[in-house]
Structure 1
Amino acid sequence: MKIGLQTWGSHGDIRPMLALAEGLQLAGHDVTLLITCVDSDAYAGVTSAAGVRIRVLASPVITAEQGAEIGWSIVNSRDPLKQMALILRRCFGPAEDEMFAAAQQLAAESDVLVGHYFMHPLQIAAEHAGKPYVSVLLSHAAIPSAYSHPLGLPRIFNGFLWWLTRRLLHRTLKPYVNRLRAQLGMAPARDIVSEVWLSPYLTLVGVSPQICERQPDWPDAVQVCGFLDMPNMQLEGRLTELLSAFLAAGEAPVYMTLGSWMPSDIGNQTDTLRMLTQAARLAGCRAVIQASSWEACGFLSDDQIMYVSASPHHLIFPRCAAVVHHGGAGTTQSTTLAGRPSIVIAHISEQEHWANELRRIGVAGKLTTRRSVTAKQLADRIRHVRAHPELAENAQAIATAMAQEHGVARAVELITRR
C-alpha cells in the first residue's frame, strides 16, 4: 500500500511517528511522512534508513523567544483547556494552512492515511478523499470511558465528567476543525473527540499495556499497540567517552531532563539549570543534567554533576538511579522501559496524567509541577525515591515485561490487516 503519515509537535510527537513510518516501510509499504516541528529545525536533515520519504513543513513554527513566552504562559495556567487553546493558537495555527495543503496532496497520493491524533488537517483530508484514516494516540488520557477519567475521581462521576470534558474540548477545538471542513464544503464536526481524535476505522494507542489499562467499554477500533520506540537518532546525541567516564566514577546518578520543555532562551534556561543543580546538591546525589545551552549559561561540570547537551535515553537511563523528567509520553515510557523510577515535574495537564499513572503502577512518588517546584521540593522528591527501593524494583519488573512488547510491529500488523 501507499501509506501517508503526518505529525506535528515536539520531538516526543515526531519520534514515534517516524518509528511507525520506518516499520511500515520495512514491511514492504511505500511510505511518506510529513513532519512539522514546533520548536526546532533539527529534522531538516533527517533521513530514513528504510527509505521513507520525509518532508518537513513550516519548521520551526515558533522562535526560541516565542517558545519561552508561550511556555511560561502555559505553565502558569492551571486550566487544561486554556493551555490547549494557547497551544493551538500560537503553536499550531501558524502552520495549519500549510499542513492542510500538504495533507490534501498526501491524501490524493495514498491508500491509507495515518495521523498524530492532533492532526485534524489530515483527518479532514482523508475523510474528504474517502480514504481510511488511522489515528495515533500518544496518551490514553483522551479516551472516554465509564471506568476511568484523568481526574481520578470515583467511578460514579465518570459519565458526567466525560460529557463535560467532550463538550469543553469540542468548544475549544471546533473553530480550527470546522474552518478547514468548510473550505472543502463539508458539514461541521459534531464531536471532536469521537470524530477527529478517535478514528472509527482504527485508533492506535502508542502506550505500553503495562501502563495503559484497556477499559471494557472502549470501541473495538481502539487498539493498544504499545510504545512506538526506535533506535537512537543522531540528533539525540551519543554516549561520549567523557560521560561514560563520569558514570563509571561513582554511584549511579540521577538523570535530569525537561525535554522540549527546557527553556531554549539563555535567561530562562539558566534559571532552570540553577534550580536543577541546587536540587541535586541538596539531595546529595550525583546527577547528569541535560540542557542544550548549558555552556552558554555558564555552568561547569564537576565530580558530582555533569551537564550534557543531549544524550541517548535508551543508553543512559539504564545506568542511572532515577530520572527527573517532564512527564512527556516518550520520556515516561523510555524511563520505565529502562527499569528506572521517575520524578516528574509536570508542565501541562497531560504530563500530570502521566505522573499519576506512574505513581499508580508503583514506579514514581508524588508529582510536582513546574509552576510551583523549588530546589528543596525537588530534592525531597529525589530523596524519597532513593529511600524507597521498591520503586526501582517495580520499575525493573515492568521493564522486563515491556521488553517483550513490540509496539511498532504490533501497530504495523493492526494497520495492514485492516
Structure 2
Amino acid sequence: MKIGLQTWGSHGDIRPMLALAEGLQLAGHEVTLVITCVDSDVYAAVQSAAGVTIRTVASPVIQRDEAAEIGISIVSARDPLRQMALILRRCFQPAEEAMIAAAQQLAAESDLLIGHYFMYPLQVAAERAGKPYVSVLLSHAAVPSAYSHPLRWPRMFNGFLWWLTRTLLHRELAPYVNGLRRRLGMRPVRDVVSEVWLSPYLTLVAVSPQICERQPDWPDAVQLSGFLDMPNMSLEGQLSAALAAFLDAGEAPVYMTLGSWMPQDLPNQRDTLRMLSDAARQAGCRAVIQSPAWEACGFQPDDRIMYVSASPHHLIFPRCAAVLHHGGAGTTQSVTLAGVPHIVIAHISEQEHWANELRRIGVAGKLTRRRSVTASQLAERIALVRSKPEWRIKAAQVARAMVQENGVDAAVRLINRSMEKM
C-alpha cells in the first residue's frame, strides 16, 4: 500500500517517525514521509536507507534569532496549557498553511495516513479524503484512563482530572483545529483529545513497556508499540577521536545535553554552559557537555570537562555514569535503553511527566525545573546519582528488558493488522 506519514517538531519528534517510515518501507509498502522541523533544515539532506521518499516542508519554522525569546517565554510560563498555547502559536502556526497543503497532497496520493499526534492538518486531510488515519503518540501522558493521570493524585480523582484536562486542552487547541475544519466545510470537533490526538482506527503509543503499562480501560484502538528506535543516523555523526580519547582517559563521565532546549543565542547559551560546567566541578565528576556553540561562547575543554557540539547518543550514553538531560521523549528512552541513570532538567510539563516516570521506575531522582535550577542544585543531583548504585543496577535491568523489544516491528505489525480489517 501507499502510506503517507507527516511529523512536526524537533529531532525527538522526527526520528521516531523516520524509524517507523523505514520499517514500513522494509515491510513492502511504498512510503512517503513529510517533515517539518522547528529549529533546523538538516533533514532536507537526509536520505532513507530503505528508500522512503522524504519531503521537508517549512523547515526551520523559527529562525535562530527568534529561538531564544520563544524558549524563554515557554519556560517562564508555569501553566502547562499556556506553554502548549505558546508552542502552537509560535512554533506550529507559522508553518500551518504549508503543512496543510502537504497533508492534502499526501492524502490524495496515499491509501493510509500516519501522523504525529500534534499533526491535526493530516488528521483533517485524511478525514476529508475518506482515508484511514493512524495517530502516533510519543508520550502515554495523553491517553485518558481511570487508572492513571500525569498529576498522580489518588486514583479516585482520575475521572474528574481527565474531564478537567480534556476540557482545558480543548479550549486551548480547538480554535486551531476547528478553524481549519470550518475553512474546509467540516463539522467542528467537540473533544480534541478523543477526536484528533486519538484515532479510532489505530493509535500507537510509542513508549517502551518498561516505562509505560497499557491500562485496562484503554480503547482497543490504542495500542502500545514500544520505542520507535533506529540505528545511528548519518546526521548524528560518529564519536570524534578527541571524545573517544577523553572517554578512555578516566572514569565514566556525566553526559549533559539539553537537546533542542539549549539556548541558541550566545549570551543565554554561555550562561547555561557556565551553569553545567560549574555543576560538574562542584560535583567533582568528569563531564561531556553538549552545546552547538561552545567555542564561540569562549569555553575550553580540559582533562575533566569535554565540550562537544553534538554526539551520537547511541554510542556515547552507554559509556557514561549518568546522563543529565531535558526530559524529551526520545532522549529519555535513549538513555533508558543505554542502561544508565538520569538527571532531568524539565523545561515544560511533558518533560516533568517523563522525569516523574523515571523516578517511579527507580532510575532517577527528583526532577529539577529549568526556570529555577542552579549549579549547586545540579551538583547535588549528580552526587546523589553517584551515591546510588541501586539506580545503576535498576537502569541496567530495565535496559536488558528494553533491548529485547522492537518498537518499529511491533508498530508495523499493528498497522498491517489494522489494514487487513479495511
The TM-score, its normalising length taken from structure 1, stands at 0.99
Alignment partner of 1:20 is 2:25: no
Q: State how 1:143-162 maps to structure 2 within 5 Å.
A: 143-162=143-162
Answering whether residue 384 of structure 2 is matched by residue 384 of structure 1, we say: yes
Describe how 1:287-306 pairs up with structure 2 within 5 A: 287-306=287-306
What amino acid sits opposite 2:389 in the alignment? P
Alignment correspondent of 2:115: 115
CA-to-aligned-CA distance 1:203-227 (integer Å, 9 cap, x gap): 0000000000111110011110000
Distance 2:65 2:256 in 1: 23
**Which segment is superposed worse, 177-186 or 320-329?**
177-186
1:75 pairs with 2:101: no
Structure-2 residue corresponding to 1:286: 286
Q: Which runs of 5+ in 1 are unaligned?
A: none
Match for residue 402 of structure 1? 402
For 2:74 and 2:102, locate their aligned partners in 1 and report how far apart those are by CA, in whole Å: 29
CA displacement at 1:130 relative to structure 2: 0.8
Task: Please give the root-mean-square deviation of Cα atoms over the aligned residues, in Å.
Answer: 0.6
Deviations, residues 349-370 of structure 1 (Å, cap 9, x unaligned): 0000000000000000010000
Q: How many residues align?
A: 418
SS in 2 for 1:238: coil
Match of 1:389, as an amino acid? P
Residues 164-200 of structure 1: per-residue CA shift (max 9 Å, x gap): 0000000100011011111221100110000000001
CA positional deviation for 1:94: 0.5
2:36 is aligned with 1:36: yes
The answer on whether the counterparts of 1:117 and 1:196 sit within 8 Å (CA) in structure 2 is: yes
The alignment status of 1:85 with 2:115, answered yes or no, reads no
Partner of 1:233: 233
Q: CA deviation at 1:275?
A: 0.3
SS of the aligned residue for 1:32 comes to: strand
- Three-state SS of the structure 1 residue aligned to 2:255 is strand
Instruction: Report SS of the residue matched to 1:417.
Output: helix
Tell me if 1:205 matches 2:201: no
Name 1:332's counterpart in structure 2.
Answer: 332
Instruction: Output the CA distance in 2 between the equivalents of 1:98 and 1:254.
Output: 41
**Share of identical aligned residues, percent?**
79
Distance, in Å, in 1 between the alignment partners of 2:238 and 2:268 is 26
* 1:7 paired residue number: 7
**Secondary structure, counterpart of 1:294 in structure 2:** coil
Q: Aligned partners of 2:70, 2:390: CA distance in 1, in Å? A: 38
Question: What residue number does 1:345 align with?
Answer: 345
| Alpha-carbon distance in 2 for matches of 1:324, 1:401 | 22
Quote the residue 2:271 is aligned against: 271
2: CA distance between counterparts of 1:42 and 1:300? 27
TM-score of the pair, normalised by structure 2: 0.98
Q: Could you say what secondary structure the match of 2:140 adopts?
A: coil
Q: CA deviation at 1:237?
A: 2.4
Q: CA deviation at 1:342?
A: 0.1
Structure 1 residue runs of 4 or more that deviate by more than 6 Å after TM superposition: none
Corresponding residue SS for 1:235: helix
- Structure-1 separation of matches of 2:76 and 2:390: 34
Unaligned stretches of 5+ residues in structure 2: none
1:238–1:310 Cα contact (<8 Å) kept: no
**Aligned equivalents of 2:146 and 2:316: distance in 1?**
39
- The answer to whether the aligner puts 1:59 opposite 2:59 as a matched pair is yes
Mapped to 1, the partners of 2:236 and 2:298 lie a distance apart of 22
Query: Where in structure 2 are the equivalents of 1:141-180 lying within 5 Å?
Result: 141-180=141-180
Contact 1:342 1:364 in 2 (8 A): yes
User: Distance in 1 between the 2:61 and 2:85 partners?
Assistant: 16
